[in-house]
Structure 1
Amino acid sequence: MKRLFWLGVGVATGVALSRKARETAKQATPAGIAGNLGEAISELAGAIGAFGADVRAGMSEREEELSEVVEQRSGVSPVARRALGGRDERRPARSAGARANRAGS
């Protein structure tokens, strides 16, 4: 009975080791290396995208904080100013002819 147990353990170990060796050999082939490289690039692209989203969220949050401070100190709402098209009320709007002349120069 003892011998049968150790025979089973040996067979199971041999199967596991042969599968591991086959997997390692497959990863060492050019196709395996290309697959690993593709996965790594995909992970990197996802990480860069997540970082960009975090940066944009932080910028938006900071912009809101700064808008509140500007409104508190000056009484002018930057959001209302943006609704006007971002045009500065102190500067007159240019006519279409003036814009065309400037573009032609």
Structure 2
Amino acid sequence: MRRLFWLAMGVTIGALVVRKLSQAAEKLTPQGAARSISAGLEELAASIRDFTADVRDAMTQRESELRESTGMAGDPGRPDR
């Protein structure tokens, strides 16, 4: 019974090691490298979009605060009448 347990443990660990090594080797192929670079660029583009959206929101909010504090509330393109 003990030997069967250790045999099963060895087979399981061996299978996991082979699987991890296969995944690592696949990442080193040109296709794997291209996928990694592509995923990284997509993540970078999403981060830049989020950042610019945050900056626009903050800019709009700050502009509103400045207009209220200076008494220039209204449409920025039209003078108040």
Q: Normalising by structure 1, what TM-score? A: 0.71
Q: Residues 6-45 of structure 1: matches in 2 within 5 Å?
A: 6-45=6-45
Unaligned runs of 5+ in 1: 72-76, 90-105
**CA root-mean-square deviation:** 1.8
Q: Residues 83-102 of structure 1: matches in 2 within 5 Å?
A: 85-86=77-78
Q: CA deviation at 1:88?
A: 8.9
Q: Does 1:51 align with 2:46?
A: no
Tell me how far apart the structure 1 counterparts of residues 63 and 80 of structure 2 sit (CA, whole Å).
19
Letter in 1 for 2:74: V
Unaligned runs of 5+ in 2: none
Q: Does 1:79 align with 2:74?
A: yes
Q: CA deviation at 1:87?
A: 5.7
- Runs of 4 or more above 4 Å deviation: none
Q: Normalising by structure 2, what TM-score? A: 0.91
Tell me: higher relative CO, structure 1 or 2? Use CA pairs within 8 A at least 6 residues apart. 2
Greater Rg by CA: 1
